[in-house]
Amino acid sequence: MIFILITLFLDILGIGIIIPILPELIKEFVGGDTTVAARYVGVISAVYALMQFFCAPILGALSDRFGRRPVILVSLFGLGIDYLIQGFAPSIWWLFVGRALAGVMGANFTTANAYVADVSDAKTRAQNFGLVGVAFGMGFIFGPALGGLLGSINIRLPFFVAAALALVNWLYGFFVLPESLPLESRSSFEWRKANAWSSIANLRLYPLVAGLAASYVFLFLAQRGLESSWVLFTGYRFGWDALTNGLTLGLVGVMAAFVQGYLIRIVIPRIGERRAIIIGLSISTCSFLAYGLANQGWMMLAIIVVGSLGGIAGPALQGMVAGAVSPSDQGKVQGALTSLMSLTSIVAPLIFTAGLFSFFTSDAAPIELPGAPFLAGAVLMVIALVVMVRLFRRIPPSETKSEAGDSPAPA
């Protein structure tokens, strides 16, 4: 675990560095117009997700065949090159190229999740995926804050630092990262199974996973909408600059590290994965609603702290998925789920950022409502919650494979 966690931390650190400054760079290319920039941010984010959608199941299937290590190493090297392309981009169209390549290489999270599943058992799954959340959280503690600081010096500097981190990460993995999938657990590679649509359709082989995937669609659609609109919303509503956004997103990372690194070790063993998912989704629904209605900057900070408790749902979801899937199919299933997340990431920026935020901050809007993307996200969270409750009633714990912590009565 320690090797993959360090790899993930450096990977997320590089991604986090560019989060606060990418919208600002786009604004420079379009003359500083926030409404126009929102449209480009939405489309560029959709391009990234589109490439990830098609490539995630391919990388997952390749890792089932050749092992996790080579797939992770190739993608890390590709990310380093991609950041250089974005750093030197002379026009907004080069950013499109860079984000497309980032989508291809960013699909390595599929393989990282499969790696964690390889080295986990029923008792450690939720905790190990919680540690993955810690790695993400730590990356987002330092990444956005560092990106905001570097961006205040030069708007392109964060891209070059991210490139250096990705290439250092690649060297680290080359010399240190061990393989997690033994030869006897590997499966053959078939292009038809690596197809994004086929991999999603194959989720029906695991009824519980298929049901969780249905809720995933609404959950991640809301989450991606929040992420793609955050910087533009806080800049428009509260006048936050890249540094302020970076420090604020650092707070998100601190809370994520606390919840997923410490709190879930106490909560999930006591209440079970199912109750953790229901409670987490309920908290997230309330936090989305609060974000949309916030009218002062300090409110956003308070909501981040309280809303972070909803993070107990993520590791519990990953634990349930990993526990229902055989080792030889972990890569394919994780790839399918990553493709689903990417599919929502294609749609979300277009709906929430280029659509809702752009419209409700324009002169054509009947009312000024920059928080519209977050309010729409709250509605989607409610739908995800309803889908999950109905799934758990239909499939009790006794019918699923080794659900950690679910010995008490079902949710």
Q: Determine the Cα–Cα distance for residues 205 and 333; give it in Å rounded to an integer.
A: 10
Tell how far CA 205 is from the center of its chain.
25
Q: Determine the Cα–Cα distance for residues 14 and 160; give it in Å rounded to an integer.
A: 10
Residue 20 confidence (pLDDT): 78
* Mean pLDDT calculated for residue range 20-41: 80
In tens, the pLDDT along 225-281 reads: 888 888 889 988 999 887 788 788 778 878 887 887 788 888 888 888 889 999 999
In tens, the pLDDT along 84-99 reads: 998 898 888 888 888 8
Q: Determine the Cα–Cα distance for residues 126 and 136; give it in Å rounded to an integer.
A: 15
The beta-carbon contacts of 297-303 under 8 Å, at least 24 apart in sequence, are 297/234, 297/238, 297/240, 300/234, 300/238, 300/248, 301/248, 301/251
Q: Determine the Cα–Cα distance for residues 102 and 78; give it in Å rounded to an integer.
A: 8
Q: Determine the Cα–Cα distance for residues 201 and 198; give it in Å rounded to an integer.
A: 5
Question: How is residue 21 written in tokens?
Answer: 């400054």
| 8 Å CB contact between 385 and 237 | no
Model confidence band, residue 288 (pLDDT cutoffs 50, 70, 90) = very high
**Domains, the chain:** 2-176+195-399 (1.20.1250.20)
Residue 404 confidence (pLDDT): 44
Q: Determine the Cα–Cα distance for residues 62 and 334; give it in Å rounded to an integer.
A: 12
The residue that leads in pLDDT, 32 or 288, is 288
The residue that leads in pLDDT, 307 or 200, is 307
Amino acid at 151: G
Q: Determine the Cα–Cα distance for residues 260 and 139; give it in Å rounded to an integer.
A: 13
Q: Which pTM value belongs to this model?
A: 0.66
| 8 Å CB contact between 101 and 78 | yes
Of these ranges, 68-77, 118-127, 335-344, the one predicted with the greatest mean pLDDT is: 68-77
In tens, the pLDDT along 333-385 reads: 777 777 777 777 778 878 888 789 889 988 888 998 999 999 999 999 999 99
| 8 Å CB contact between 342 and 52 | yes
**pLDDT higher than 70, residue 399:** no
* Mean pLDDT calculated for residue range 194-209: 75
**pLDDT higher than 90, residue 284:** yes
Q: What is the mean pLDDT of the chain?
A: 82
Give 239's contacts (C-beta < 8 A, 6+ positions apart).
none
In tens, the pLDDT along 31-68 reads: 877 778 877 877 887 787 788 777 877 887 888 888 88
In tens, the pLDDT along 383-397 reads: 999 999 988 888 877
| 8 Å CB contact between 61 and 335 | yes
In tens, the pLDDT along 307-331 reads: 999 988 877 887 787 777 777 677 7
* Mean pLDDT calculated for residue range 211-218: 82
The residue that leads in pLDDT, 332 or 237, is 237
Model confidence band, residue 407 (pLDDT cutoffs 50, 70, 90) = very low
Give 220's contacts (C-beta < 8 A, 6+ positions apart).
340, 341, 344, 345, 348
Q: Determine the Cα–Cα distance for residues 383 and 283; give it in Å rounded to an integer.
A: 14
3-state SS, the chain, equals CHHHHHHHHHHHHHHHHHCCCHHHHHHHHCCCCHHHHHHHHHHHHHHHHHHHHHHHHHHHHHHHHHCHHHHHHHHHHHHHHHHHHHHCCCCHHHHHHHHHHHHHHHHHHHHHHHHHHHCCCCCCHHHHHHHHHHHHHHHHHHHHHHHHHHHHHCCCHHHHHHHHHHHHHHHHHHHHCCCCCCHHHCCCCCHHHHCHHHHHHHHHHCHHHHHHHHHHHHHHHHHHHHHHHHHHHHHHHHCCCHHHHHHHHHHHHHHHHHHHHHHHHHHHHHHHHHHHHHHHHHHHHHHHHHHHHCCCHHHHHHHHHHHHHHHHHHHHHHHHHHHCCCHHHHHHHHHHHHHHHHHHHHHHHHHHHHHHHHHHCCCCCCCCCCCHHHHHHHHHHHHHHHHHHHHHHHCCHHHCCCCCCCCCCCC
**pLDDT higher than 70, residue 196:** no
Residue 398 confidence (pLDDT): 59
